[in-house]
């Protein structure tokens, strides 16, 4: 027996749009470079040893094995000389080989290290908001951060794709695809879209846990996907907004934090997760 009767739950057609490596992509486009194939890092205070990496392109992350945020001294090369930094590599416990040194130095020579330009990023964000307004009203746009936002497309789907017998799921995918294309054609930026024909939270989970891995950079999670996808989440830290303190609290209710949620037979635990989920859904809806 399920914990929620989904037929009684409100539904809406939501697209959660996230700009891929936003700051780094903007800097690439400004230089006439491809955001997906260029190695670029946005760094604040690059003249200091503790310079802060604010953003980096997908290629930079892949080549140097770095997350989106870090410090200058965590890079395996010296940004002034572009030579391999044995000191930094040893500090991080990296396995050093002749091939790895050559790999790092080759890409270091091709890497752009640029300062942040927040005014420019804000201008691009405003341009993206204008694109959004071509697909739904300003009242149905809920900014989540400078590079993310929820769009309620419930009232828009039939306007763009009227009466052809297609499902709302298909229409939501088509409109989301159109939004991706419009942003790329107007700004040269790539967008990832999490979709849901149910609620904002499922759209966010779809983006974080599936869309970012898909070739078309889109994914849809709705109520009928909860048991197969949400309860299959292996790590609670992947759950929206579920930070360390929440994980420590949930840990008391089951033996292993990192086994799939579905394997936890504790009814109180599942009820707590559902309550947490409900609170996040409310905060998502109020984010605008």
Q: Which residues are the active-site residues?
A: 148
**CB-based contact 39:107 (threshold 8 Å):** yes
Q: d(Cα 28, Cα 184) in Å, to the nearest integer?
A: 13
Report the C-alpha gap between 222 and 169 in whole angstroms. 9
5-38 per-residue burial string, b: 16 or more CB within 10 A, e: under 16:
eeeeeeebbbbbbbbbbbbbbbbbbeeebebeeb
Provide CB contacts within 8 A for 243, sequence distance 6+.
237
Pairing of strands 70-71, 52-56: antiparallel
């Amino acid at each position: 027996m399920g914990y929620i009767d989904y037929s009684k739950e409100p539904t809406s057609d939501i697209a959660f749009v996230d700009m891929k490596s936003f700051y780094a992509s903007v800097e690439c486009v400004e230089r006439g470079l491809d955001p997906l194939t260029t190695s670029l890092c946005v760094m604040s205070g690059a003249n200091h040893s503790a310079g802060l990496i604010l953003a980096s392109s997908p290629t930079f992350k892949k080549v140097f094995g770095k997350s989106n945020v870090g410090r200058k001294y965590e890079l395996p090369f010296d940004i002034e000389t572009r030579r391999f930094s044995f000191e930094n590599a040893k500090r991080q416990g990296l396995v050093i080989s002749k091939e790895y040194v050559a790999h790092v130095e080759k890409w270091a020579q091709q890497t752009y290290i640029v300062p942040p330009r927040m005014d420019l990023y804000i201008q691009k964000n405003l341009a993206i908001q204008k694109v959004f307004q071509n697909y739904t009203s300003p009242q149905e746009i809920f900014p989540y951060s400078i590079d993310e936002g929820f769009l309620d497309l419930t009232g828009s789907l039939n306007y763009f794709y009227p009466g052809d017998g297609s499902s709302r799921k298909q229409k939501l995918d088509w409109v989301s695809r159109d939004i991706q294309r419009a942003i790329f054609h107007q700004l040269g930026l790539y967008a990832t879209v999490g979709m849901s024909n149910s609620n904002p939270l499922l759209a966010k989970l779809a983006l974080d846990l599936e869309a970012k891995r898909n070739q078309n950079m889109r994914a849809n999670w709705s109520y009928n996907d909860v048991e197969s996808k949400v309860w299959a989440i292996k790590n609670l830290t992947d759950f929206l907004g579920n930070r360390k303190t929440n994980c420590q609290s949930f840990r008391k209710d089951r033996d292993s934090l990192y086994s799939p949620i579905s394997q936890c037979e504790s009814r109180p635990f599942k009820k707590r997760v559902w309550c947490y989920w409900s609170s996040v859904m409310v905060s998502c809806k109020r984010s605008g």
